[in-house]
Amino acid sequence: MSKAVIEVSGLHKVYEGAVPVKAVNGIDLTITEGEFTALKGPSGCGKTTLLNLLGGLDQPSSGSILIDGTDITALSDNELIDFRLHNIGFVFQAYNLIPVLSATENVSFIMLLQDRPKEERLARAEQLLKAVGLEGKEDKRPGQLSGGQQQRVAVARALASKPKFVLADEPTANLDSESTAKLLDIMEQLNAQENMTFVFATHDDRVIAKAKRVVSISDGKVIDDTAE
């Protein structure tokens, strides 16, 4: 049986205000190593909030999140940043690359933060960019790449730190069909070859169709959990 990478229990996130909003309302979820999981649901259902909580970007109102056995809700701000650096890869909807760095530098930047040697950084960046089909574009800056290419650099960056899993928030939202297909193929391939765990928040049917497990969320609750 595969090892649990993410274990969520009794998770709540309430945004206080004149009218409190229960963005996550009692979710229990376990994601094991190597899964290719899509969190689906309409806008405002709580999937991005859940992803932020899993990534340690936000603190839950109650409940626990164990990542590879570590309760990240108990970590301090600095410990969380460090934890993210070594354990979680992020792919954002708007790519979010550093505009002044080349593709290679964007990918190797996260390894620089991990204090890895320069040779290792460059070799892995080259290998990852090759893996996402960006051979020959290593020296291009984000502004010189198409949206699809930028998102592939973002995927390479997410994998560069050798994380335990990758969280992707609407990774295909800004891509055309061809770029989406290419990106999904690459992620599927990385999942198969490196046993990398992927968790997507999406309402893109093309992503959902590729997922091996689909968790449907509505009003902050899991309403369906289907595996292949």
Partner 1 sequence: MLKLAWRNIWRNKGRSIITIAAVMFCVIFAVVLRSFQVGVWENMIHEIVGNNFGYLQIHEDGFWADQSLDRTMDLGAVNSEELLAVDGVDRLIPRMESFSLLYHGSNTKGSLVMGIDPAVELPGLQLDDILLEGRSFSRDDSVIVVSEGLAKYFNVGLGDTLLFMGQGYHGATAYGAFPIGGIARMTNPELNKQLVLMPFQKAQYMYNCTDRATTLVVAIEEDADYEAVGSALKGSSAEGLEILEWKELFPEIIQTIEVDMAGGRIFVTILYFIISFVLLGTVIMMVAERQREFGILVSIGMKKTKLAFVTLLENIMLIMGGAIVGMAVVKPVQFYFKYNPIDLSGQMKEAIEQYNFEPKLYTTTSFIINLNHGTIIFFIGVLVSLYAVVKIMKLNPIESMRS
Q: List beta partners, residue 6.
A: 31, 67
Nearer to partner 1, 36 or 95 (CB): 95
CB of 103 to partner 1, least distance (A): 14
Q: Is residue 120 part of the contact set for partner 1 (CB under 8 A)?
A: no
CA-CA distance, 128 to 109, in Å (whole number)?
Answer: 13
CB of 96 to partner 1, least distance (A): 4
Beta strands in the chain (DSSP E): 4-15, 21-32, 36-40, 62-67, 70-71, 88-91, 165-169, 197-202, 213-218, 221-227
Nearer to partner 1, 64 or 96 (CB): 96
Residue 38's nearest CA partner among 195, 193, 192, 188 is: 188
- Contacts of partner 1 in 67-106 (CB under 8 A): 77-78, 81-82, 84-86, 90, 92, 96, 98-101
Amino acid at 61: S
Q: Is 74 helix (H, G, I), strand (E, B) or coil?
A: helix
CB of 9 to partner 1, least distance (A): 22
Contact 126, 138 (CB under 8 A): yes
Nearer to partner 1, 113 or 209 (CB): 113
Helices (H) and strands (E) in the chain, counts: 7, 10
Nearer to partner 1, 74 or 81 (CB): 81
Which residues, at least 6 apart from 51, have a Cβ–Cβ distance to it below 8 Å? 39, 167, 169, 199, 201
Part of the chain binding partner 1 (CB under 8 A), chosen from 14-22, 107-115, 120-128, 185-193: 107-115
Nearer to partner 1, 85 or 208 (CB): 85
- Contacts of partner 1 in 131-160 (CB under 8 A): 157
Contacts with partner 1 by CB under 8 A lie at: 52, 55, 57-58, 77-78, 81-82, 84-86, 90, 92, 96, 98-101, 109-110, 113-114, 157, 161
